[in-house]
Chains A and B, each alone.
Chain A
Amino acid sequence: MKKYLLAIAALIVMGAAFAATPKDTYVYLQSAVVDSLDPVQGYDGASNGIIENIYETLYSFKKDSLSEYEPTLATSYEVSDDGLTYTFHLRKGVKFHSGNPMTCKDVKYSMQRNLVVMPGDSGAWIFGSVLTGYGDDAMTEAKRALGDNASKAEIDKFLDQYWKKIEAAVTCDDMYTVSFHLAKPDVSFMARLLFTGAAVVDSKFAIAHGEWSGTEADWKDWIGRDLRTSYLHKHDAGTGPYKLVKWDGNNVVAEAFDGYWGGAPAIKKVLIQSVEEEATRLEALRRGDADRVDVNSWATVNAKVKQMPGVKVWSDPKWSPAGAHVVFFNFNVQGENNPYIGSGKLDGNGIPRDFFSDINLRKAFAYCLDQDAIYNDLFEGHGSWYTMALPPTWPGYNPDIPIRKLDLDKAEEYFKKAWGGKVWEKGFKLTITYNAGNTERQTVAEMIKANVESINPKFKIDIAPLQWSDYLKAARAKSLPIWPLGWGADYADSDNFIHPFYHSRGSLAKRQNFKDPEFDKLIDYARTLVKPEQQAERYAIYKKIGRMAYDVLPNIPYPLQSPFIITRDNLQGVYYNSMLSRDFYWKDISKK
């Protein structure tokens, strides 16, 4: 009996002593759960991190570069002089995982599928807004345009128009030439085409399995549909270097595609597993059962990961995430009975609606935000500094702008100047809000409160945590006087930061009633620079805008946690591209 027990114990121990994954296999344990593998539906990192390896777009990122694109399913492209037509020459001899050849028909189908379905919770608006001019699905747009009581005939007429725009948006000049026709020139169109939503889908295969037929006949059935219930949600119809073997619950298994046009990658098998519990992920990494794991914060990296043998922490001070976090000022607060501005007057118990229209106040508040503390305490010294609301690695970022750090003397000086000295004399009371549960924004709010209140006992700041949805609703209603918020890029074009943050019609700037004709003029002009040879000029304008923003100070950019990647140390070829959902393509990595 004892002999058997010993034998069993030996077997178990031998079987599990140190189980490094095989050399041709990549195992990644992530915290998030995959939402959908349909390129039109997938809009979160976990989903797109898989889609970007089993599907391909016409152009893709050249490793970690955000400005250089690599021809992928296309080999070259031209832009018409008016900037309205983009023509792509497709790569010949590309096969889908089904064996079908990739032609213009597939490119057209894939893009039009975005425009037809436009699921509200997807990224399809990225294409709709430039190709048809509509950011929502046809029914939602019809309701918006015609009101709730429109007759069926009116709606049908609207839908017909919508369909005509979809039809005109993409055309096939021949089997290997495709043209996109824009509703208006858009400098970011190329960057938009790199979003996974533009991935080319095997139209023959998709239609055969019950997806939209590609014609007007059934397009109305697909408007606004939740694609999580149709075939491509769980099945792959791509051309990518990997094909999906199985997505079952928490596991996604993929393997290298033999017929890939770009040659065979070093990693042949991939397992992506969702593991909720961080401690479990870390132990799997320690044991070599995973090649890469998600870790939540630098605090955990420093405390637990760094000392693990055989584990590598990839990080670089030059890396920055594809986002910007700032404190917004409202130049003219809206809303009846607004609870965030007290009495609504400069009487010591509130603030007037245009309180922050005085540059002295904006500067005074900026000097009260302790950016060093955010950098050192919140991110344990692993942060990226931001001089403007554009990630430092993006083209057009201006590193030569100073950053206002904590300086209570200067703050006092500006407070005394504000509103002709009335602010200093009367004092004020306002409320800073943040979304409940976000410790970073809570810290920012508390920091501002503590420092501002320390300057003058008549300065009073309340802090109010709000539910996410309430928070955004209040911001959209322009009723918040001052609030911290982040923005993540939708596509890799600097315009996706410059316009929302600094243009009076930008999605963020309009919530703060910020309007400066100088900014608008420059940003509008930059948007006309669509040709590849004009990009240097465009980026120079963005640098100038950064400089102007330092003086005008519509918002205070502050540091972000700098990114890191945790792997076993035998994994090679790792790089960080902030616009890829999972930082690098699987085809670029290998193992020692």
Chain B
Amino acid sequence: MLNYIIRRALQIPLVLFVLSLIIVGLMQLLSPQQRAAAFITSDKQIEHIDQIIEKYHLNEGFIVQYKLWAKEVLRGNLGFSRISKEPVTTTVRKKLPASTELALSAFIPIVLVGIWLGTLAATHRDGLLDQVLRVVAIIGWSLPTFVVAIWLVAWIYGGLGWFGIGRLPNSLLIDLATSNFHSYTGMYTIDGILNGRLDVTWAALVRLVLPATALVIVVSAGIMRVMRSSMLDELGKDYVRTARAKGLPEGRVVYKHAWRNALIPVITMAGPMLGRMIGGIVVIELIFNFPGLGEWAAKAALQLDMNTLLAFVLLIGLIMATVNLLVDIAYVVVDPRIRYE
């Protein structure tokens, strides 16, 4: 088992290496002029496009460009982000906590809602509740994230004035900038407590509601569908029939026996679900004015900021690879029949 984990962990750098090759390679498909034009913030600078091309080695080939980047990375320098106007590592340090806060606040509701609704649908198979939930799941799964996000912004925030957008109310942002609020973790909910500013924690929590809701809507539908079918599967198996035959109450049959087994396929879903969640976060951060990694990467993609994109892709690659490894390990824990050699 340990052997297996080490082998899998060693694959991660290889995956990251290939990812970085792909990104640098994709950039080369655009002409140096097109890439240089992305550096420009005002029309007048277009006159200096040749200087920009020379300065950033944009007319060099793939290998030269990759070497230039890799040499710096090996020294621990991920380069300067044109989007955030500061070194990439500085930005990651500041923005990762924001995205993490959002992901964590959405994660538990996503799992709970997905599993709970999936179970409900399975136990009420073909009933009205099941039908309704199935329609809801299809809608949730097929709705583009930005549509859900814009609805929530327009109706709940714009129409009703509830919750608000951005990480904190503007007055608090000004207040924190001018007072000596210390950023320990970069997550306002936790920093609020550590600084003894519960108003900040509360405001940050309120602001998390809408973006987290949007994530729950678009991500939990998938879990619910898997949970429903796997639950149905389990409920049709012999051991469940035996349990029912020996007169166990239905609640015990469902929750004590079938439920745990039905969860295994849901754990498999964790990988793809995380992917969908990250995709969702990119759009949601943009629309809810929630300045995290996703918003940063979306802008970088639009403006062909290679350093930023590479850092983002590598970071996500690292997270995805790690999660997939953890999922595989979790199988063993949940299902003792599975062994890795």
Chain B interfacial residues counted at CB < 8 A: 55
Cross-chain contact of B42 among A13, A44, A289 (Cβ < 8 A): A44
Chain A proximity mask over B89-120: 1 for CB below 8 Å, otherwise 0: 00100110000000000000000000000000
Task: Tell yes or no: B16 within 8 A of A by CB.
Answer: no
Secondary structure of the B contact surface, majority rule: helix
Task: Tell yes or no: A22 within 8 A of B by CB.
Answer: yes
Task: Tell yes or no: B124 within 8 A of A by CB.
Answer: no
Does B37 lie within 8 Å of A467, measured CB to CB?
A: yes
Given the complex, which residues of A lie within 8 Å of B178, measured CB to CB? 245, 253, 255, 269
Given the complex, which residues of A lie within 8 Å of B163, measured CB to CB? 12, 16
Task: Tell yes or no: A273 within 8 A of B by CB.
Answer: yes
Q: A120-B51, A253-B174 are in contact. Are A469 and B34 (CB under 8 A)?
A: yes
Given the complex, which residues of B lie within 8 Å of A228, measured CB to CB? 80, 85
Given the complex, which residues of B lie within 8 Å of A18, measured CB to CB? 161
Cα distance A255–B173 when bound, in Å?
13
Cross-chain contact of A467 among B34, B52, B94, B203 (Cβ < 8 A): B34
Task: Tell yes or no: B154 within 8 A of A by CB.
Answer: yes
Given the complex, which residues of A lie within 8 Å of B161, measured CB to CB? 13, 16-19, 287
The CB with the most chain B CB atoms within 10 A, among A46, A289, A469, is that of A469
Does B158 lie within 8 Å of A283, measured CB to CB?
A: yes
Q: A280-B165, A469-B46 are in contact. Are A233 and B85 (CB under 8 A)?
A: yes
Q: A255-B178, A488-B43 are in contact. Are A21 and B171 (CB under 8 A)?
A: yes
CB distance from B82 to the nearest CB of A (A): 9
Given the complex, which residues of A lie within 8 Å of B43, measured CB to CB? 486, 488
Does A271 lie within 8 Å of B52, measured CB to CB?
A: no
Chain A proximity mask over B196-209: 1 for CB below 8 Å, otherwise 0: 00000001001001
Does B150 lie within 8 Å of A284, measured CB to CB?
A: no
Task: Tell yes or no: B337 within 8 A of A by CB.
Answer: no
Comparing A27-35, A408-416, A525-533, the segment that makes contact with chain B is A27-35
Task: Tell yes or no: A140 within 8 A of B by CB.
Answer: yes
CB distance from A124 to the nearest CB of B (A): 11
Q: A249-B291, A287-B158 are in contact. Are A488 and B177 (CB under 8 A)?
A: no
Task: Tell yes or no: B242 within 8 A of A by CB.
Answer: no
Does A472 lie within 8 Å of B46, measured CB to CB?
A: yes
Task: Tell yes or no: B312 within 8 A of A by CB.
Answer: no
Task: Tell yes or no: A234 within 8 A of B by CB.
Answer: yes
Does A271 lie within 8 Å of B173, measured CB to CB?
A: yes
Task: Tell yes or no: B265 within 8 A of A by CB.
Answer: no
CB distance from B4 to the nearest CB of A (A): 41
Does A16 lie within 8 Å of B45, measured CB to CB?
A: no
Task: Tell yes or no: B9 within 8 A of A by CB.
Answer: no
Cross-chain contact of B177 among A22, A43, A253, A486 (Cβ < 8 A): A253
Chain A interfacial residues counted at CB < 8 A: 63
Given the complex, which residues of B lie within 8 Å of A68, measured CB to CB? none
Those of A1-28 within 8 Å (CB) of chain B: 12-13, 15-19, 21-22, 25, 27
Task: Tell yes or no: B267 within 8 A of A by CB.
Answer: no
Cross-chain contact of A279 among B95, B150, B169, B206 (Cβ < 8 A): B150
Cα distance A16–B55 when bound, in Å?
49
Those of A486-527 within 8 Å (CB) of chain B: 486, 488, 490
Q: B209 — nearest CB in chain A belongs to which residue?
A: A12
Task: Tell yes or no: A221 within 8 A of B by CB.
Answer: no
Those of B152-179 within 8 Å (CB) of chain A: 153-154, 157-158, 161-166, 169-171, 173-174, 177-178
Those of B136-158 within 8 Å (CB) of chain A: 150, 153-154, 157-158
Q: A45-B42, A253-B174 are in contact. Are A12 and B299 (CB under 8 A)?
A: no
Task: Tell yes or no: A84 within 8 A of B by CB.
Answer: no
Task: Tell yes or no: A277 within 8 A of B by CB.
Answer: yes
Given the complex, which residues of A lie within 8 Å of B299, measured CB to CB? 33, 276
Task: Tell yes or no: A468 within 8 A of B by CB.
Answer: yes
Task: Tell yes or no: A543 within 8 A of B by CB.
Answer: no
Given the complex, which residues of B lie within 8 Å of A588, measured CB to CB? none
Those of A263-308 within 8 Å (CB) of chain B: 269, 271, 273, 275-277, 279-280, 282-284, 286-287, 289-290
Those of A325-383 within 8 Å (CB) of chain B: none
Does A121 lie within 8 Å of B170, measured CB to CB?
A: no
Q: A253-B177, A277-B287, A280-B287 are in contact. Are A43 and B153 (CB under 8 A)?
A: no
CB distance from B240 to the nearest CB of A (A): 33
CB distance from B99 to the nearest CB of A (A): 13
Cα distance A85–B34 when bound, in Å?
43
Task: Tell yes or no: B86 within 8 A of A by CB.
Answer: yes
Given the complex, which residues of B lie within 8 Å of A46, measured CB to CB? 41
Cα distance A25–B163 when bound, in Å?
21
Does A15 lie within 8 Å of B80, measured CB to CB?
A: no
Does B85 lie within 8 Å of A36, measured CB to CB?
A: yes
Does B94 lie within 8 Å of A16, measured CB to CB?
A: no
Chain B proximity mask over A130-158: 1 for CB below 8 Å, otherwise 0: 00000010001000000000000000000
Task: Tell yes or no: A470 within 8 A of B by CB.
Answer: yes
Chain A proximity mask over B47-61: 1 for CB below 8 Å, otherwise 0: 111011001000000
Cross-chain contact of A249 among B84, B158, B169 (Cβ < 8 A): B84
Cα distance A15–B94 when bound, in Å?
27
Task: Tell yes or no: B68 within 8 A of A by CB.
Answer: no
Task: Tell yes or no: A246 within 8 A of B by CB.
Answer: yes
Cα distance A36–B84 when bound, in Å?
10
Given the complex, which residues of A lie within 8 Å of B33, measured CB to CB? 467, 469-470, 473
Cross-chain contact of A44 among B41, B169, B203 (Cβ < 8 A): B41
Task: Tell yes or no: A123 within 8 A of B by CB.
Answer: yes
Does A249 lie within 8 Å of B162, measured CB to CB?
A: no
Cα distance A43–B43 when bound, in Å?
10
Does A25 lie within 8 Å of B206, measured CB to CB?
A: no
Those of A239-258 within 8 Å (CB) of chain B: 245-246, 248-251, 253, 255
Task: Tell yes or no: B39 within 8 A of A by CB.
Answer: yes
Cα distance A27–B203 when bound, in Å?
18
Does B169 lie within 8 Å of A19, measured CB to CB?
A: yes
Task: Tell yes or no: B130 within 8 A of A by CB.
Answer: no
The CB with the most chain A CB atoms within 10 A, among B44, B48, B52, is that of B44
Cα distance A439–B94 when bound, in Å?
38
Q: A485 — nearest CB in chain B belongs to which residue?
A: B43
Given the complex, which residues of B lie within 8 Å of A43, measured CB to CB? 41-42, 44-45
Given the complex, which residues of B lie within 8 Å of A469, measured CB to CB? 33-34, 36-37, 46, 49
Cross-chain contact of A275 among B45, B177, B289 (Cβ < 8 A): B289
Give 21 pairs: A residue, B residue, CB < 8 Å, sorted on A: A13-B161, A13-B162, A15-B203, A25-B170, A32-B41, A35-B85, A120-B55, A121-B51, A121-B52, A140-B51, A228-B80, A234-B86, A245-B174, A249-B91, A249-B95, A253-B174, A276-B299, A283-B157, A468-B37, A469-B49, A488-B44
Q: What would 9 more interface pairs be, CB under 8 Å, given A276-B299, A468-B46, A470-B33?
A: A12-B163, A12-B209, A22-B171, A33-B85, A36-B85, A44-B42, A121-B48, A245-B174, A251-B177
Interface residues of A (CB under 8 A from B): 12-13, 15-19, 21-22, 25, 27, 32-36, 43-47, 120-121, 123, 136, 140, 226, 228-229, 233-234, 245-246, 248-251, 253, 255, 269, 271, 273, 275-277, 279-280, 282-284, 286-287, 289-290, 467-470, 472-473, 486, 488, 490
Lowest 3 CB-CB distances: which A-B pairs, in order? A283-B158, A469-B33, A253-B177
